[in-house]
Structure 1
Amino acid sequence: MTVGISKQDEILYLNKTLDTIKELLDKFGDSSYERSNDIKSDRRLLWDSIKELDEIEVQHFNQNLAMQEKLYLNNIEKIKTLRNQLNSPYFARIDFKEEGESPESIYIGIASVIKDDFDFLVLDWRSPISNMFYDYEMGPASYTTPNGEIKGEIVLNRQYNIKNGEIKFIHESNSSIHDEALLSVLGSNTSDKMKNIVSSIQKKQNEIIRNDKTKVLLIQGVAGSGKTSIAMHRAAFLLYKYRKTLKAENILIFSPNDVFSEYISDVLPGLGESNISETTLEDFYKSFLPSIYNYEKKNDYLEYIYSEDTKEKALREKAMKFKNSIEFSNILEDFANNLPNMLIQFKDIIFDNKVIISKKKVSEVFLNKFKNVSFIDRIESLKGNLFAQVETKYFVQAKNKNASDFGYNPFDHGNNIQSYLKEEVSKQVDTMIETINPVTIYNYLWRDISKYTKLNVEEISDFTIKNIQNMNILFEDIIPILYLRMHMDGFKNYKNIKHLIIDECQDYSPLFYKLISKSFRNATFTILGDINQKISNDTNIDKKEDIEVIFGEDNTQIVSLTKSYRSTFNITEFSKNILEFGEPIEGVERQGMEPQVLENVNIEETILEKIKEIKESGFESIAIIPKTAEKSKELFNLLKDKIEDLNLIIDDNSHYSKGISIIPSYIAKGLEFDSVIVPDCDKTYSKDSERNLLYTVCTRALHSLYLLSSSEKSILL
């Protein structure tokens, strides 16, 4: 069906669509009400009849209840999506003329709207036919179906801004995503939650989102290139395409912190999908490591990195550079592989004061027969093998002689000699094994580190051992210890996770990726980050190819996004000049005011003055971004009585909301604001190694950027 192209035709079609959405809301609302009553009734019936039902009947009842509840929750999700669609049911239209056919009008929205079970008024943006909107301009176009490629041409291409069920404007163009519409989106104010970008996805972004063939997709994207949005939209696409086998609980995102997790929490629900699971590194390791130690938190670690220089800090930076290197990753791997030889002292298996199995034989069984399984599994396999040998050699003797001569007690083993023999073998093997504490094992590595490297790391070794002796585990030591723990126990395979998203990938070590690749063996990956935004030159991944080596070149595809859509052209150009080297950066042609660098000013007065100017310009989201949390607290105490509803965000318990916030540099990472004020752009940023951090801070701004200094400006500008 082809819809007319006049404004009146469009209004009529919109009204028809809105009427259908209202009908669907009534339908699903009634269905949900009835199903809710059915669930309540069935629960009451089960409770009243529980004593009269047998186990099979109770199981059947529970299965039926679970099915009813699942359908009810699905209805609730559908109602949420429909309510969103009442506000804006679609954002685009293409008229596609298939070869030999009449043109057909295709309206595209966040989810399909279907009238009478067969009339598609709106198509889901993830559908194959909708893909043409993102990939083609006016003219020849095609899309792929299970039956093959459908060819034709796009004869009309429109975009809409619909709010509260009313058409605000219509853009018509011969390009795939119209520049005017894109600039309109980019020029709007930001919010306290990341928004979906379905109406402005660019062609290259679309290719990444719809890539479902690559095991590991690595996205190197400059600040503001939309890489996190792309990862979330890719998750939505995979949930749509593989909806029969992939559910929200099968996707996990490694988030840099809880503030960021909250910031992205509306994206998938806004696309009609349930939220996926999320975790931070700290959440992930908690259940694996001994609780008797003090583990440094990530934010405390970052605060330390960005604090004043000291002799100890210089040593720690040297240690971090080594511990986060590929060389150390390989050292730890070799060390872990040799653990069995270190942790077990082989002994004879003895019964009745006689050697039944020699320690040489025990050693041969352990080292050769079970060498391809984890240490813990090898121990259990060894016990089983030795018991079988003892049973064969000794069981007949034990039955024919007075069993008590061998330590057997019928009151302990219920007249079961085999049970006694099995327990005795297990006890004797346990005496061979040193108590397994991954922190202790890690300490052994540093005690003997000279065996594994030719580098002079004695000072680093002493520093690490001293901290462990004081029961303090530094942040950079957590992943190595976790790796040893998992290597000893056997890497758990999180089979339920079928897709894993890792954000800010440049801030994780090579060892982290080894650990992840072994723990999520069934998963595909979206790994995203920006080498230009590395925490420190002394830490972590140096180049994107480092990750490719770990996962394997055949499994990995690297994609680069060089265009920044977040900031004005002026801010992008200013920010990229802070970097001496790094990935190329291209700004979008959205002009704005030049960033202001203000030297020798009163910081408090200037902040208040600039906030007034920003508000008068109509901008709502303002971030004051000092380098550290300590400086953030100082500024907050200085300004809290002078700025209404001022937010202080310094840890994962803080809540980010729209308005004016003070937030340290490392927590602001990944967020965006209408305006940014940098209150300490002086000698605070004085080292080349801090260029990445200052660049990251500046690229949080969409529309305006102010860099203040109470003395001379930073030498990095």
Structure 2
Amino acid sequence: MAQWTLVSAAPELKREQDHLSTARAALARMREQTLALKVQAHDPISAEHLARTLHLRAASLQDDPSTTLFFGRIDTDSDERWYVGRRHVADERGDPLVIDWRAGMSTAFYRASRNEPMGVVLRRRFGLDRGAITAYEDEHLQDRAEHEVRSQILAEEIERPRVGPMRDIVATIQPEQDEIVRAGAEQTICVQGAPGTGKTAVGLHRAAWLLYAFRDKLARSGVLVIGPNRAFLEHIGAVLPALGEVAVGHTTIEELVASVPVRGTDSTATAVLKGDARLAEVLRAAVWSQVRPATEALVVPRGVRKWRVPAYEVNDILDELRTRGVRYDAARQMLPQRLAHAVLLQMEQAGDSPDDRVQDTVARSTIVKKYVASLWPALDAKAVLYSLLSDADELARHAQDHLTPDEQALLVWPSPPRSKGSARWSRPDTVLLDELADHIARTPSLGHVVLDEAQDLSPMQLRAVGRRCSTGAATVLGDIAQGTTPWATNSWEESLAHLGKPGSHIEVLDRGFRVPASVIEYAAQLLPHMAAGLGAPVSVRDNPGRLDVLPVQPDELLAATARVVAREVEEPGSIGVIVPDAWVDDVSKSLQANGIEHGVLGQDHGDIDHQVDVVPATVAKGLEFDRVLVLEPSAIAAAEPDDRTGLRRLYVVLTRAVSALTVVHAEPLPDALTP
């Protein structure tokens, strides 16, 4: 980039502040006009749709006084000037005062450079404080004499302390991030992003851009964000509403497939097997085995005649329906009409002239319905899975070509419940039920799915997500080095294949904007031991951050933790105290005894409004804090089922800090972290 000039006091600054005031007044006028519109429609459904559209429009025009309406400006070589902000704002004549960051013209703000100025003469970034403009920097892109200097405003915005949920990054999107954000709606993109590269923010901003560029299509089909846990969703939940997108769903993978209460647990080996893609074939075989061959003819009395469709002809119809590539229920619903059509052909051959009404009458007759039910019964996913897991012979009948006898033994319940209603379903069972439900009836597809922390999903979980975007596209986000589940896939190519998007583009982000160099370099010592061949991220920040490693005596561990946190709360910004899961209560009680107000994050909730949060190690993934304290790394690693997974978990928790990392330990550190 070219030379940046920071200006904090000048008549030009006053003119920019006046433009902001004008834009705020225009936005308020736009919202008032929207609220004043009356719903007029010819029918209740149209009226409800219009009312919802106006409500969402008014919500998107809500001003946030803590942020500015624009954060940058570009002047072009055609004497045009564009202010780039979070949403479009126009004056009373309709002329733009601010253009949406997603508009085509805004692309130049993010991607223009001295080598490719894209028609931009000047790029201006604004320094902001609580919704006010306090300074600006100018970059003259067509002045080749200037030397490259980093933007101070950009660096300060990236490193600015925060408390509460994740915020948008529209002011700091980098060129390589912008290319991902603006990829076409039909394209599935997988982002391999090291810690601090902004992959989660990129995925969310991509969802916002897609809804802007393809609103008519995606507003109908829907956009869904899937995250690893509820704490993560609370952390990111404010980003899209801040960008004016309030109709995007957020869920976890467990919530996505929830159809029964989860009351049971599986061993690790059983859970891994239930996540294996081979189970999809076992379930498919179990569903389609329910279709029984005809052994008797269909006889349909009509008037004084009886029409007979022989069993061999019925079986030909059954075989044809099984090979049509439709779901079990769809084929089942076709069967009555196909049988009625066979009767119709016989009537025509006998000299009658029946029409479609006769065929419909035959298809709906009690005789045909009973005959269809005897050959092609209605199915319930829970009943099918219950029969497989409670009966070793039934499972073997469908799994013998796919699973070994030992693997089959892992799946069968040692003490089968009396009925499907009393079954204690496990979390992996809910994914199998979701797969079965799709074999029976097609799962509706959304327009786009953003899947974060995708490296932790099993093949069967990936299939469940893929069903939700079978006719749409996906943005897949994650980091192979952060895979911490025993059922995780080994590569993005494999994950994309299970998702139903083989061959999709994989983009690598390795420039760390959020994690400082001292923290990245410390955590990267683990990579050769748990993700060989995966390159370490590179921090591009001038501020190296702070790293402190504090050894203490075992009986001083909790007290030392409280002292460090008490010191950190004197500075602004969020603080994450990441601890082994089993230690959460003890650490929380210690902080409380020392008068330190804090929240506790868990799997099922996110309490993110405190400056200090105690975070179980298994919940830390995807979160970030200005300053992080990691308590007893060896215990965090040892809580995982194997050394490789333990080091990956540790890599995750060590890379949550934006500014400073403090490691407090009484036990020896893992060898990989020992100088």
The residue that corresponds to 2:463 in the other structure is 514
RMSD: 3.6
1:425 paired to 2:391: no
Instruction: Give the stretch that moved more between structures: 89-98 or 550-559.
Output: 550-559
Residues 675-704 of structure 1 deviation map (CA, whole Å, 9 limit, x = unaligned): 222223234524232111111111112222
Is 1:167 the counterpart of 2:157? The answer is no
Gaps of 5+ in 1: 43-58, 143-151, 302-312, 398-415
**Secondary structure, aligned partner of 1:575:** helix
Is the 8 Å Cα contact of residues 336 and 364 (structure 2) preserved in structure 1? Answer: no
Instruction: Count how many residue pairs are aligned between Structure 1 and Structure 2.
Output: 627
Distance in 2 separating the partners of 1:209 and 1:339: 40
Contact 2:300 2:367 survives alignment (8 Å): no
Q: Which moved further from structure 2: 224-233 or 169-178?
A: 169-178
- CA distance 1:420–1:432, shift in 2 (3 Å): closer
Partner of 1:377: 330
Query: What is the match of residue 146 of structure 1?
Result: none
Structure 2 residue aligned with 1:406: none
Pick closer, same or farther for the CA change 1:533–1:379 going to 2, 3 Å: same
Report whether the alignment pairs 1:283 with 2:255. Answer: yes
SS in 2 for 1:272: coil
| Structure 2 partner of 1:600 | 553
Which residue identity is paired with 2:569? K
Q: State which drifts further: 567-576 or 338-347.
A: 338-347
Question: Alpha-carbon deviations, 1:510-534, whole Å to 9, x = none?
Answer: 2333344344332121111111111
What's 2:356 paired with? none
1:231-284 deviation digits (Å, cap 9, x = unpaired): 111112122222444438721112222222222122122223324112222332
Is this contact kept in 2: 1:249–1:276, CA < 8 A?
A: no
Distance 1:576 1:330, change over 3 A: same
Q: In structure 2, what is the equivalent of residue 673 of structure 1?
A: 625
Contact 2:484 2:645 in 1 (8 A): no
Query: C-alpha displacement at 1:357, in angstroms?
Result: 4.5
TM-score (norm 2): 0.83
Q: 2:76 aligns with which of 89, 92, 96?
A: 96
Q: 1:519 to 1:654 in 2, by over 3 A?
A: closer
1:107 aligned partner: 83
8 A contact 2:188–2:501 mirrored in 1 = no
Counterparts of residues 30-429 of structure 1 (less than 5 Å): 30-31=32-33, 34-35=36-37, 60=42, 62=44, 65-66=47-48, 69-70=51-52, 72-73=54-55, 76-81=58-63, 83-84=64-65, 87-98=67-78, 103-138=79-114, 140-142=116-118, 152=119, 154-164=120-130, 166-173=132-139, 178-212=150-184, 214-247=186-219, 250-287=222-259, 291=260, 294=262, 316-324=267-275, 328-330=276-278, 332-333=280-281, 336=284, 339-344=287-292, 346-349=294-297, 356-372=308-324, 373-389=326-342, 422-429=365-372
> What is aligned with 1:527?
476
- Distance in 2, matches of 1:272 and 1:418, equals 53
Q: Provide the rounded CA distance (Å) in 2 between the counterparts of 1:222 and 1:257.
A: 20
For the Cα contact (< 8 Å) 2:262–2:427, is it kept in 1? no
- What is the CA–CA distance in structure 2 between the aligned matches of 1:331 and 1:654, rounded to whole Å? 33
Q: Residue 653 of structure 2 aligns with which residue? A: 697
**Deviation of the 1:477 alpha carbon:** 3.5
Shift of 1:593: 1.8
Using the alignment, how far apart are the partners of 2:365 and 2:596 within structure 1? 72
2 CA distance for matches of 1:595 and 1:603? 15
Matches within 5 A, 1:611-650: 611-616=565-570, 618-628=571-581, 630-650=582-602
CA contact (8 A) 2:186 2:472 kept: no
Change (3 A) 1:448 1:520: same
Kindly provide the amino acid, as one letter, of the partner of residue 170 in structure 2: V
Q: Displacement of 1:126 after TM fit?
A: 1.9
Q: Aligned-pair distance for 1:369?
A: 4.3
Asked if 1 retains the 8 angstrom alpha-carbon contact of 2:282 and 2:398, the reply is: no
Q: Which amino acid aligns with 2:374?
A: T
Asked whether the equivalents of residues 286 and 384 of structure 2 are also in contact (C-alpha less than 8 Å), the reply is no
Distance in 2, matches of 1:512 and 1:595, equals 39
- Conserved? CA contact 2:8–2:136, under 8 Å: no
**Alpha-carbon deviation of 1:351?**
5.5
| Change beyond 3 A, Cα 1:283–1:6 | closer
2:408 — aligned with what? 461
User: How far 1:714 moved relative to its partner?
Assistant: 3.5
Distance 1:505 1:139, change over 3 A: closer
Matched residue, 2:615: 663
* 3-state SS, counterpart of residue 80 of structure 2: strand
Mapped partners of 1:253, 1:383: distance in 2: 40
Q: CA deviation at 1:509?
A: 2.1
Distance change in 2, residues 1:553/1:593 (3 Å): same
Q: Secondary structure at the match of 1:640?
A: helix
User: Is this contact kept in 1: 2:287–2:436, CA < 8 A?
Assistant: no
CA positional deviation for 1:204: 0.4
Aligned partners of 1:620 and 1:658 also within 8 Å = no
- Give the distance between the partners of 2:211 and 2:96, measured in 1 at CA: 20
Q: Give, in whole Å, the separation in 2 of the partners of 1:383 and 1:167.
A: 70
Find the residue that maps to 1:704 and give its secondary structure. Answer: strand
Q: What TM-score do the two structures reach when normalised by structure 1?
A: 0.78
Partner of residue 709, structure 1: 665
**Residue 14 of structure 1 aligns with which residue?**
16
Contact 1:567–1:699 (CA<8 Å) still a contact in 2?
Answer: yes
Deviations 1:161-183 (A, max 9, x none): 13355432222345799442332
- Matching residue's letter, 1:711: E
| Residues in 2 aligned to 1:199 and 1:216: alpha-carbon distance in whole angstroms | 25
Equivalent AA in structure 2 for residue 560 of structure 1: V
Instruction: For residue 367 of structure 1, report the CA deviation from its aligned partner.
Output: 1.5
**SS of residue paired to 1:623:** strand
CA distance, structure 2, for counterparts of residue 227 and residue 501 of structure 1: 11
Asked if the contact 1:158/1:172 (under 8 Å) is kept, the reply is: yes
Q: Are 2:634 and 1:682 aligned?
A: yes
Over 3 Å counting, the alpha-carbon distance change for 1:684 and 1:182 in structure 2 is same
Q: Deviations over 1:92-126 (max 9, x none)?
A: 2232214xxxx433322222333342543332222
Contact 1:331/1:452, CA 8 A, preserved across alignment: no
Q: Is the 8 A contact 1:139 1:155 kept in 2?
A: no
Aligned identity (percent) is: 21
| Residue 491 of structure 1, aligned match among 442, 454, 458 | 442
Residue of 465, 479, 504 corresponding to 2:431: 479
Say which of 603, 606, 619 aligns to 1:651. Answer: 603
The match for 2:385 is: 439
How far does residue 572 in structure 1 lie from its aligned partner after superposition? 0.8
Aligned residue in 1 for 2:26: 24
CA contact (8 A) 2:285 2:398 kept: no
- For residues 527 and 468 of structure 1, the distance between their equivalents in structure 2, rounded to whole angstroms, comes to 40
- DSSP 3-state at the match of 2:69: coil
Q: Give the direction of change, closer, same or farther, for the CA distance of 1:432–1:369 in structure 2 (3 Å limit).
A: closer
